[in-house]
């Protein structure tokens, strides 16, 4: 059976139209290459007329594509949509209006689907370096969280110090897909979903401060590490009066993962020894800046470790202490977002696909969530930061580490 008879002609037509536009050719030019009228190309691209095998071969050559790319089967719908799965998820997500939750769910799924499709186009799947699911059933959520956080930090080679590029580590060393999306509702902190097709996917609310985003992604990562991996999760701010065990575990994991007990305690005592005086709000601000968490989160963590007396945060809060103002007085720069929206790897795959003629300008702009001019500028920026090999693969520019940086070259 001819493969052209088994695939929807509308799909083939759309792909041919995208390939033609990517080559910046008109329908008339394509028609002249086939020796047919322009209306024939229009009919083919609209799916009204199936292209013949010889026509498809000619057009593939004209557009610089492989015939297989134009007639490849459509990826199967990977299970229920995110909207359906998040609606079915139990918990406080139900307090968010359906239209708000559904809009964010749909956008989240769109980015995940595009990410996988870009990997298919370039032939570069995201490696999955997933740990086995941790069994946390035999101990308290807080104790289990500390054990799992310590094990994960050791597995990832993080030691007990502050984490730098948290987003890059979880993407490259674990294989998670992470996006920073401006959520419709500010009540939503993050979303997590796992499927066999997409793998582990996390979205954090870009409307929240950077410190909150980092805490949220660690919280969602905790769900990925346990049996909650197969349960879609929407994290809502201040959602529980009495949190269930799964949420207690996730919150405790985030604290231990971002601010491990041994490392934080050591730095705290080093500060005290260096000044031989009690810890001040300025010291706590310095620690919070080092660990890239909020002042409030750091106070709570130090209270938890009994390094500060219980109720310290309530005292600061009642006095009207303003951490941001104090941070400016100490010349501590505000945290800048590490992840503006899209992972660098995702952007690079999109740029590669466009440079190879696999995406049109419009498709590139949609996948980069921007306008066409900005999308093309981003491709140029990425291509300047990297080099393109003869076979179309991108790699970082080489550097001779033995070369002199000053003087004779």
Residue-level pLDDT at 355? 86
Q: How far apart are CA 341 and CA 336, in angstroms?
A: 13
Q: How far apart are CA 238 and CA 167, in angstroms?
A: 24
The angle at the Cα of 173, spanning 168 to 177, to the nearest 5 degrees, equals 60
Residue-level pLDDT at 67? 77
Strand ranges, E, within 169-276: 177-181, 188-195, 199-205, 233-236
Please say whether the structural domain 3-71 has been given the CATH code 3.40.50.300: no
- Each residue's pLDDT, cut to its tens digit, for the chain (409 residues) gives 455 666 778 888 888 888 888 788 899 999 999 999 999 999 998 888 888 888 888 998 898 877 777 876 655 555 678 888 888 765 665 667 778 888 899 899 999 999 998 998 888 899 999 999 999 888 899 999 999 999 999 999 999 999 989 999 999 999 999 999 999 888 899 999 999 889 999 999 999 999 999 999 999 999 999 988 989 999 988 756 677 888 999 999 999 999 999 999 999 999 888 877 888 888 899 999 999 999 999 999 999 999 998 888 888 878 777 877 777 777 777 777 777 789 999 999 999 888 887 787 888 898 999 999 999 999 999 888 764 443 344 454 444 444 454 555 4
Structure tokens at 396: 């970082």
Distances from the Cα of 276 to the Cα of 271, 294, 305, angstroms? 8, 25, 20
Residue-level pLDDT at 254? 97
- As to burial, measured by CB atoms within 10 angstroms (0-12 exposed, 13-18 middle, 19+ buried), residue 379 is buried
At 236 the three-state DSSP class reads strand
CB distance 347 to 378 below 8 Å: yes
Count helices and strands in the chain by DSSP H and E runs: 19, 6
Structure tokens at 98: 């359906």
Distances from the Cα of 20 to the Cα of 34, 142, 183, 283, angstroms? 13, 57, 35, 61
Q: How far apart are CA 163 and CA 152, in angstroms?
A: 12
At 177 the three-state DSSP class reads strand
Percent helix / strand / coil, the chain, rounded to 5 = 55, 5, 35
Structure tokens at 341: 């929206």
Structure tokens at 330: 């100490």
């Amino acid at each position: 059976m001819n493969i052209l008879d088994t695939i929807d002609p509308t799909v083939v037509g759309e792909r041919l139209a995208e390939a033609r536009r990517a080559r910046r050719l008109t329908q008339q030019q394509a028609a002249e290459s086939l020796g047919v009228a322009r209306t024939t190309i229009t009919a083919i691209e609209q799916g009204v007329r199936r292209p013949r095998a010889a026509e498809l071969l000619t057009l593939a050559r004209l557009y610089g594509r492989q015939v297989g790319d134009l007639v490849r089967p459509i990826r199967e719908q990977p299970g229920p949509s995110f909207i359906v799965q998040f609606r079915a998820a139990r918990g406080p997500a139900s307090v968010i209006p359906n239209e708000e939750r559904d809009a964010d769910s749909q956008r989240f799924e769109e980015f995940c689907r595009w990410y996988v499709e870009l990997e298919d186009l370039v032939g570069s799947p995201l490696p999955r370096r997933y740990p086995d699911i941790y069994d946390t059933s035999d101990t308290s959520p807080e104790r289990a969280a500390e054990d799992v956080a310590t094990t994960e930090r050791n597995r990832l080679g993080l030691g007990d110090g502050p984490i730098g590029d948290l987003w890059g580590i979880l993407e490259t060393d674990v294989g998670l897909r992470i996006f920073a999306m401006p959520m419709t509702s500010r009540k939503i902190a993050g979303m997590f979903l796992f499927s066999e097709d997409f793998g582990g996917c996390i979205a954090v609310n870009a409307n929240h401060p950077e410190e909150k985003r980092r805490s949220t992604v660690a919280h969602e990562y905790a769900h990925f590490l346990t049996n909650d991996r197969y349960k879609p999760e929407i994290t809502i701010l201040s959602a529980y009066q009495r949190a269930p065990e799964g949420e207690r575990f996730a919150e405790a994991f985030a604290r231990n993962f971002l601010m491990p007990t041994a490392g934080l305690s050591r730095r705290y005592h080093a500060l005290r020894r260096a000044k031989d005086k009690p810890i001040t709000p300025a010291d706590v601000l310095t620690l919070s800046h080092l660990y890239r968490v909020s002042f409030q989160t750091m106070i709570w963590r130090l209270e938890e470790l009994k390094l500060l007396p219980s109720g310290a945060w309530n005292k600061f809060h009642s006095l009207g202490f303003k951490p941001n103002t104090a941070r400016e007085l100490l010349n501590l720069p505000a945290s800048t977002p590490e992840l503006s929206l899209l992972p660098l790897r995702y952007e690079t795959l999109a740029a590669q696909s466009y440079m190879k003629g696999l995406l049109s300008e419009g498709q590139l702009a949609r996948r980069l969530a921007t306008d066409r001019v900005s999308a093309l500028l981003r491709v140029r920026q990425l291509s300047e930061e990297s080099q393109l090999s003869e076979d179309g693969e991108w790699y970082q520019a080489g550097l001779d580490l033995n070369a002199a940086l000053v003087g004779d070259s």
